[in-house]
Structure 1
Amino acid sequence: MAALRWFLSDMTEPLFWASDLAAIGLLAGAALAWWAGRRGRTWAGSLTYGTGLWPWVLASASLSLLLSNLAFGWMLDDGWQPTFVPFVCVAPAMVLLYGAGWKTCVTGAFLGAATTTPLALLFIPAVSTPLGLPVVVANVLAMSVGSVLAFMVARRLPWLALQEPVRPPEPGRPPEPHRPPSSVHRSFRHDAAWAARRVLKDFTETHFFANELAGIGVMLAVAGAFVLNPALPSYGTNLLPHILFAQALTSAIGVVLWQRWYRDGGWAATYASVVSVAPAAVLAYGGSWSAMVGGAVLGAVLAPPLARLVSARLPAGFHPVIGNTAAMAVSTAAALPLLGLLPH
């Protein structure tokens, strides 16, 4: 039972909440969105970018997480280990690049577990500890470097064929209706509703779900976990409310600041600070107001354009998760020392 709870907790560890209950909420919300989407319910929003690949994304990510735990779980006797890292990078990205099927699913799962977790174990003592940086810097750097290595290998595997980068609508629903309009006639009410839904999506963007119902599910469930045990979801700090506030704030600032990139089918990595700078600042400086607001602002300003800059220069066959996670590492490494200059 302890191993199962750790496995589930790993699913929400990227959000800085290690909670099996939150993972159940995440999966329940995504499953509801999948069920509703298959029946043409527009209120469900898009799931996994409207590709219809959510079951395969979840399967490959879960298998990669399982392999990571089997290979490195024995090290847990010595304390915490970053067994969660493959769940949110190589495996789901491989499915989006190479399409559905067991060959893609298993290959992505294996490559993710074989690259990202060992690199995280290496980078924590080699990068984060000597530089006095939070562990998240090593983790997301491992995701970025590991993804590069995995996609280099994938390009040479004869059983994988790169798919066309299309995003078809899910059955019964027009493609992605919740984007900011480019028309001059758009209303404030419409913009506010879109922004709110975009913030909810950002809470599950790192899982490649990017869905409002999944976002609501994971947040309601982690709130329940906090009520049951305030220390459990946030590494014993009791700072879950502070983390949630900073995450919502950094997403909202990023969505407003970079909304032009979302127009007419575009996208921006406004989620990047949600899973790096903002929560790391809260934990580093004890949940002070300067940490919550400062981390949210710096993360929203730095991470999305950095992610865009790196991702735009990637060749075919290399998923933008490389640029997104690299931006997380650089932004966190730059922002936290600056925040240390503020009173807390």
Structure 2
Amino acid sequence: MRAIVYSQTGEPSVLHLVERDVPEPGPGEVRVKVVVSGVNPTDWKARAGDRPGRPAAFPEVVPNQDGAGVVDAVGDGVTGLEVGDRVWVLLAAHGRPSGTAQEYTVQPAERVVRLPEAASFDVGASLGVPAVTAHRALTVADGGPSRLGPGTLSGRTVLVAGGAGAVGHAAIQLARWSGARVVSTVSGPRKAALATAAGAHHVVNYREGDTADAIRSIAPDGVDVVVEVSPARNAGLNAKVVANHGTVAVYATDGGGELTLDVRTHFALNVRYQFLLLYTVGAEAIAAAAEDITRALEDGELGVGEESGLPITRFPLERAADAHAAVEAGTVGKVLVDVNASP
């Protein structure tokens, strides 16, 4: 089988195509024939490391956490998954050398989730890190729901920073599906159109006018949940628009790694800052997210493509390095790698 691997950290050029034997699943594992592999910022950051030229975590690492395909073989003790099942894969390369940038990947059964027939493989490969992160961000609010579904966020206002990104896109769709009023901030007209296509009720261009005033005009009592990609840059804005007992759910550090808060303002409003990292969030939270995301897919949510607010840029497997470079360069939407031409 064909696989993309790297042995040391560095630029996308460290990725190269090799031929490998098809792996066999062990007890509790399944083998997935990968149709599409998804690329996230976490994938290129893992490949780049803290500096180039360092040995990778394993002698050869296959990158990419997310993907979608078909179960091809099942190990002993696996229940709930069968050969032929359409599935999406998450955290494939976490603590393992076997990501989704290869024709077959063997994964623990808990990292493989059934993909409803109505959802395409492109949708499946776009879930994983973005959708599970978005689910977690929407379920950590003070007094809010621990699960998502129709009506669970009714009466709440959610502010999604960067609604044209993959996590922002998933957060908009999941929040709206759950009944929230959704506001998103963006940096320009095209991204505004994407956030609107994803389902945001209101979109605010933060480069035009007073962003806080614009958000307060939509939500006079403040926003209940902020899904935050840039906490350092947006701390002042969030302090002006967050509601009493509001929550700022932080999932990334775009715009700086140090955050300064006005203590008195946040005291007065009983604000909760909740930081979240998918790799350490725990199996229970991931399993809950997978169940709720599956329900959303069954309801026709979490679509991808320009018309759904998440444009797709795709590359063949042999150009996986270009796919990583595209994500690193900030390509808007989702970058996918076509692995197998057919399931």
- Is the shorter-chain TM-score for this pair beyond 0.5, marking a shared fold? no
TM-score bracket for this pair, using the shorter chain length: under 0.3
Larger Rg: 2
Flag the structure with higher strand content: 2
TM-score (norm 2): 0.27
